[in-house]
Amino acid sequence: MTARFVITSGEPAGIGPDLVLALAQQDWPVQLVILADKGLLEERAKMLGLEVDFIDYDRFAKVRPSRAGEMFIEPIALPQAVELGKLNPVNASYVIRMLKRAIKGCMNQEFAAMVTGPIHKGVINDAGLKFSGHTEMLAEQSHSKQVVMMLATPGLRVALVTTHLPLKDVPEAITPELLKDILTITNDSLSTQFGIDKPRILVTGLNPHAGESGHMGREEIDVINPVLQQMANAGMNVHGPYPADTLFTPKYLQQADAVVAMYHDQGLPVLKHMGFGNAVNITLGLPFVRTSVDHGTALDLAGSGKADVGSFRYAIDVAIQMTGQE
């Protein structure tokens, strides 16, 4: 049975509208429903020289796969007209409305997955709306106790213990309870959504040289090691903590189904260097599948025809895999 995926088109002044128009240039095995301002997409399609047949989305209509040259769209109106490449706080509410609509549709099983385009957190906060990122909003809106931010590219998956925190707040945030939750959710998702039998998970330390036996910090001794031992004793195939500067080498990565890193800029620079433009952001632990592009809004490329749709395509492909639509 064909599934429906909901796609949020992201920051309207950036490349998000360009990318969803590019997605409409190919066939898909699922039905893609785009949330966007219809006038914005019509204008951008004309600018890019793309032919698209816009079909108003009807949730009660028979589900069928999306075909090249067409787009199922649920119109969401912009408060103000978009100036190409220029952020406007007035339009921040438009981005939030798209996300809330997508989450609601996934929660009531209207959609099998949501795939999100790039947004600009700064302009949302400038508008006076509290927003620290997709991951945090998804957790709150879906009433999920704990979620995990994972980025993936062919050959590497990296899950994070902490996400969008100042570096000075990271050590205190890494508690035994949090680390257990992150490892459990990651392990369960790799097994059930990616079909990996007894996934092998490698874990970084927090400090240089994984604390060097306490000489460079005690978090490994006091928190990380005890949790890893407990999880291993319970049957999880988990190993570490390894110094991050040696774990992210072929010797270790070729043995890993996923790496769990302690903070955002410990794990993600390596992954983005390895697979930028062909990577996907996945939120684990939600009651539905959510994937996203791995890049920003690229305001300078909006309307230029130079935006690379590879990450968006890959995000949809991973969602197809995770929902069993292959």
The rounded distance, in Å, linking the Cα atoms of 187 and 197 is: 10
Summarize the annotated binding site as residue ranges: 134-135, 164, 209, 264, 272, 281, 290
**Are residues 154 and 263 part of one domain?**
yes
**Are residues 313 and 202 part of one domain?**
no
pLDDT in single tens digits along all 326 residues of the chain: 899 999 999 999 999 999 999 999 999 999 999 999 999 999 999 999 999 999 999 999 999 999 999 999 999 999 999 999 999 999 999 999 999 999 999 999 999 999 999 999 999 998 888 888 888 899 999 999 999 999 999 999 999 999 989 999 999 999 999 999 999 999 999 999 999 999 999 999 999 999 999 999 999 999 999 999 999 999 999 999 999 999 999 999 999 999 999 999 999 999 999 988 789 999 999 999 999 998 999 999 999 999 999 999 999 999 999 998 77
Whether 283 contacts 182, CB under 8 Å: no
Q: Is residue 177 part of a domain?
A: yes
Count of domains for the chain: 2
Q: Is residue 292 part of a domain?
A: yes
Amino acid (1-letter code) at residue 82: V
**Are residues 136 and 15 part of one domain?**
yes
**Are residues 164 and 126 part of one domain?**
no
Q: Is residue 256 part of a domain?
A: yes
**Are residues 153 and 140 part of one domain?**
no
**Are residues 161 and 125 part of one domain?**
no
**Are residues 66 and 23 part of one domain?**
yes
Domain end call among 248, 272, 296: 272
**Are residues 98 and 204 part of one domain?**
no
Per-residue pLDDT at 70:
98
**Are residues 56 and 157 part of one domain?**
no
**Are residues 156 and 56 part of one domain?**
no
CATH number, residue 14: 3.40.718.10
Distance of CA 234 to the CA centre of its chain: 29
Per-residue pLDDT at 164:
87
The rounded distance, in Å, linking the Cα atoms of 149 and 151 is: 7
Per-residue pLDDT at 148:
96
Q: Is residue 138 part of a domain?
A: yes
Q: What's the pTM?
A: 0.91
Whether 135 contacts 147, CB under 8 Å: yes
Q: Is residue 296 part of a domain?
A: yes
Q: What is the largest CA-CA distance in the chain?
A: 64
Summarize the annotated binding site for a divalent metal cation as residue ranges: 164, 209, 264
Per-residue pLDDT at 254:
92
| Residue % of the chain over a pLDDT of 70 | 100
Summarize the annotated binding site for substrate as residue ranges: 134-135, 272, 281, 290
**Are residues 125 and 139 part of one domain?**
yes
Q: Is residue 8 part of a domain?
A: yes
Q: Is residue 139 part of a domain?
A: yes
How would you classify the pairing of strands 53-56 and 113-116? unpaired
Boundaries of domain holding 252: 148-272
- Reading phi first (left if > 0) and then psi (alpha if -120 to 50, else beta), residue 114 is in beta
Per-residue pLDDT at 51:
94
**Are residues 155 and 107 part of one domain?**
no
Q: Is residue 279 part of a domain?
A: no
Whether 146 contacts 188, CB under 8 Å: no
Whether 153 contacts 274, CB under 8 Å: yes
Per-residue pLDDT at 169:
97
